[in-house]
Chains A and B, each alone.
Chain A
Amino acid sequence: MVLTLYILIPAVAAVVAWLLGRVDTRLSRWTAVAGTAVPLALLVVQWIANAGELRGDFVAEGAGPAGVAAGSWIASVHEPWIESLGISYFLAADGLTLIMLLLTFALGLLAVLCSWRGITKNVGVFHLMVLWTVAGLAGVFLALDLFLFYFFFEMMLIPMYFLIAVWGHERRVYSAIKFFIFTQVSGLLMLIAIVALVFIHGRETGVYTFDYTQLLGTSMSPTTAMLLMLGFFAAFAVKLPAWPLHTWLPDAHTDAPTAGSVLLAGVLIKIGAYGMIRFMIPLFPDAAYDFRVWALILGVVGIIYGAVMAYAQTDLKRLVAYTSVSHMGFALIGIFAWNSWALQGVILELVCHALSTGALFILVGGLQDRIHTRDMSKMGGLWQVAPRMGGTAMFFAMASLGLPGLGNFVAEFLILVGVWQVSHWAAVLGAVGLVFATVYALWMMQRAFQGEETHGLKFADLTKVEIGMFASMIAALVLLGFWPQPLITTARQPLDGLQKLTAGTSLVQPQTPAEDAGAAEPVADTVAGEEGGP
């Protein structure tokens, strides 16, 4: 039941915020805060309540893929919906879902907060759109019926479109339409794949169902599997975004309002990664293995291309947008490496990237609100005008380039270690990408904040609300940098389960001699060697 609440509360709050917005904008804003903060609180409670269960080892509840899939959930709702088509209302949560929901609500809250002063027109409708997006996002992460998943997947597009097109910046309509068409077309490809999968399964077993746990392990010819996997891959690759399907992102991110950018970069693009981990690879492990080389190539090209493009930009927000492309390249190679280290790294990267890039977007948005430009040639020396802003920007630039001590480093290191098991060159090139990340991060700092202040700009430094937001994000990143274990433990069970689903396929190779061979069994903590002692 609580799972439905995660979707229902933001949805209801959306409508209430809209209606209240006609009366008083402040009421609308506070409703929106409630609409995201309440599910967040619920989530934390649920997380703590199930902490013990999450810490345990993964136990399959039955034989075969369906049994493995069933063993993962800490909560689920399964009602029949459209029986004749085999569609059910199937929501379920495991550790991975909890992490994704945490991101959704936390960033939703941040999005509402950072628009407090920035959005003044049609405030009610704005919050309707934001909360509608949040509800859709919650649905995407919770849904396990493929039709329901697709439903929520497409549902989020509409409010996002409006967010960009109505409250965005200069080329907002172009960017909104581009974003919509890219995602819609790729989503349709995924729909075809879903329907085909259902039919194949139906013809094989006589049961037509959209239930993900039933569809696992459907046998089909390698060509069919590859085609269907590519259908899914298209949708998730556009969302992630993977090079070369990334070109919608710079436009959408640049022209979206700050709240839109935060939601886009923070959560929406994580759906791509989540979809690959949860659906695409477990459904088609052999096809994924065959495709792996290509995915690694695309990922590595994305890392370097995104970084070089970021360096080349003169629009500050566009620069930050391209860094997203670069970081998600890491996610892509990590996903296809498909071993414990890489996958944990990917989850961590999703969380840390959401924090660091979200913060950068809030920063850039705040800067734009103050000086009404994003053109870096009109900036320079801003550190002297607003030292707190400069310091904060420096911190998040360091997070972006993967400085150890912050969560992003742990994530990227784990991903690269995992990728190294599968392909040395991909890991090395990914590490080279870190050099390019340094180039763009330092360039961004130099061009905008350092140097002489020649344009006569004067504006206020960070407000208390902004400092509060950034302080919490800084604290989170530092904490994750030195103690990522809570997150890792939460994700461990579901990731082990997912890997078990693909056990025995060519995707999961035996790990190195230092690790257990075969599919990753949950390994007891082995702190390698201590001698001497206090």
Chain B
Amino acid sequence: MLSLLWLIPALPAAGFVLLVLLNRRLGRAGTALIGAGSVGLSALVALLVCGSFIASPPAGDAYHQVLWTWLDVAGFAPTIGFYLDAVSVTWVLVITGVGFLIHLYSTEHMEHDEGYTRFFMYLNLFVASMLILVLADNLLLLYLGWEGVGLCSYLLISFWHKDPQNVYSGRKAFIVTRVGDTAMIAGLFLLFTQLGTLQIQPLMRAAEEAWAPNSGVAIAAALLLLGGAVGKSAQVPLQTWLPDAMAGPSPVSALIHAATMVTAGVYLIARTNVLFELAGDARLVVAIVGVVTLLIAGFSALVQHDLKRALAYSTISQIGYMFLALGVAGWEAGVFHFMTHAFFKALLFLGAGVIIEALADEHDIFKMGGLRTRLPAVFWTFTIGAAALAALPFVTDGFYSKDLIIATSLGSVDGNLWFYFGSLVGAFVTTLYSFRLVWLVFFGERHTEVTRRPRWRQLVPLYVLAVLSIIGGFVWLPAWIGAFHPLEDFLDTALPPMEWAGQYAHFAESAGAALLIILIVYVGIGLSYLLWMPWRQSTHAFAESPAVRPLVAFWTGGWGFDWLYDRVFVRPIRWLAHAGRADVVDYVPRGIAWLNLAAWRGLSAGQTGRLRAYVAVAGFGVVLVLAVVVLR
């Protein structure tokens, strides 16, 4: 059963190839069958393989399948091989499961789009690349998947490429992530040169043996890999591409920019945890990046007018939580939150897609409202998603995973008070902005009428994800409720166990800390209700008031990062390119040619054609020569 592992990425890849070859000849039904079917089959195989893995784990809690040796140059011999352990099982199940639901959704959502086949082509390629990424047994193959998802992200963001703005957003995403990739590839050079291999498991073992804890090399390698992770996962300082990426269709935002691709960075760090365990300083940087990002993005999400942009900033913020967890060595907690986040964020994006489509492409939440009665199914599922995002206690999976992270940020061996307060503030802000969306979109006066209702292919994924958003957290209950944590046990087979230490550890694990979080959530929900229901006008006025307006604008614009990068990088390079367009270096050969021509012109001026001039010159020359000869 486990030997079917290679089918999991191969099936969507085959789907891609089929769609490319049969492009013109397929109708809607055919494309949907191949496009969604390949991912569905892959999900099925994944269930079988992962189920078999969980039920009867192989020796060493890992399964390794090598297809062929990619290349072999002087001892550098990466393979096309797949490695399955608890971490990759989690990712594979999420990618194929949530991926299939989103494919199903897309068959309805993109029904009227002329690029239907192209859409599924790219989407299948994306799923294949993402699966390669998480299953790769060596960093070079991982990098292949890494760039593959970047490519598909670009293609899908700029899917409606008639509008140059969409293409610009796609380019921005690709280029910004590529900056991160440059750091990552330098990390690969370093790792290979120092340790002689890029196969992940041997690499980790070699690193443990060869490098002392917190040695310069280890930190350098870890930070370089972090650079790549930061780019793909849209963390500070490379987070500017994600809000613009919302230019793509909603299923794309759900799959790529919420559930899967943006978690690639989280996966990378989890995968190379040995390296980060060695480099404590690098781990600190990861945590700081996480905390800073979750706060910045949280505040930005609070003031967005565009529904999808708000969700985008929310994604950035939640991934910040995952980074924070990894940074304080709460490895399993980060993975847990990835899983729960995939469920509720995909749900929210798919719901947003339905809403936007229902209102004839209206994105502004202030032009929505009162949709509770018109789109009840969407209302309930969306609210469940928002509740999970806000970590509504006990009944949503977000509560369990976020509570765990907040507790870890304090109680872990690397935890400290700053991280704790940061994550608490972040949780409060999250509650505010997530319910803000609910109140503004579904309650109050209706500003835009519903013109299109969702069909079953769009609703079923919403229902499934809503259910998952509720029960998904029950696989790991906190210590103070009970000792039921099968997920933690499962992940412990692949990741270092979380260590609770320090003066606050006991408090962090206790019910008291959880009570604090529960309190914050309820206060947040209550406050958001007040701000955006009865007091809506005053909140508006407050945001528009001259004192507050600049702050709101600053937060809306993503804390000025775009502005900064534009001034520092984009404009100078553009200017340089256009100033030197005619190739300044060419002035040298052109100068030489000009000199030659000038000399020619000068000399030919002497060719007057007149006999007397020639004679005079000849005579002068003779005299000169004679003088030289005679007078020597």
User: A residues within 8 Å of B by Cβ?
Assistant: 178, 182, 243-244, 246-248, 250, 305, 308-309, 311-313, 339-341, 344, 381, 383-384, 394, 398, 403-405, 409-410, 413-414, 416-417, 420-421, 427-428, 431-432, 434-435, 438-439, 442-443, 446, 449-452, 482-485, 488, 492, 511-516, 520, 523, 525-534
Contacts and interface: CB of A to CB of B under 8 A. Distances in A.
B201 A520 contact: no
Nearest to B78: A528
B446 interface: no
Contacts of B2: 534
B65 interface: yes
5 contacts: A309-B583, A404-B146, A435-B182, A483-B71, A528-B202
Nearest to B144: A404
A341 B585 contact: no
A247 B193 contact: no
Interface string B127-144: 000000000000010011
Given A309-B577, A404-B144, A520-B74, A533 B64 contact: yes
B77 A482 contact: no
A313 B581 contact: yes
Contacts of B71: 410, 414, 483-485, 488
Contacts of A525: 69, 72, 77
B315 interface: no
Nearest to B182: A431
Classify the interface of chain A: helix, strand, loop or mixed: helix
A82 B190 CA distance: 53
B69 A450 contact: no
Given A182-B589, A312-B580, 19 more contacts: A309-B581, A344-B74, A394-B155, A413-B140, A414-B76, A431-B182, A435-B178, A435-B179, A439-B171, A443-B171, A446-B167, A450-B162, A515-B75, A520-B74, A528-B199, A528-B202, A532-B60, A532-B62, A534-B65
Nearest to A248: B589
A482 B80 CA distance: 8
A225 to B, nearest CB: 27
A235 to B, nearest CB: 16
A305 B580 CA distance: 10
Contacts, number: 188
A434 B147 CA distance: 12
A530 B146 CA distance: 23
B612 interface: no
Classify the interface of chain B: helix, strand, loop or mixed: helix
Interface string B141-162: 0011011100100110010011
Interface of B: 2-3, 58-60, 62-66, 68-77, 79-81, 83, 140, 143-144, 146-148, 151, 154-155, 158, 161-164, 167-168, 170-171, 174-175, 178-179, 181-182, 185-186, 188-190, 192-197, 199, 201-202, 573, 576-578, 580-581, 583, 585-586, 588-589
A514 B197 contact: yes
A413 B197 contact: no
A405 B148 contact: yes
B164 A446 contact: yes
Nearest to A177: B593
A413 B182 CA distance: 11
B248 to A, nearest CB: 14
Contacts of A511: 74
A515 B74 contact: yes
B580 A431 contact: no
A492 B76 CA distance: 13
Most buried by A among B75, B140, B143, B580: B75
A413 B188 CA distance: 10
A451 B162 contact: yes
Contacts of B76: 341, 414, 417
Contact of A420 (B154, B189, B573, B576): B189
Contact of A438 (B168, B174, B185, B189): B174
Contacts of A344: 73-74
A452 B170 CA distance: 16
A483 B194 CA distance: 26
B162 A398 contact: no
A530 B580 CA distance: 52
Contacts of A432: 182
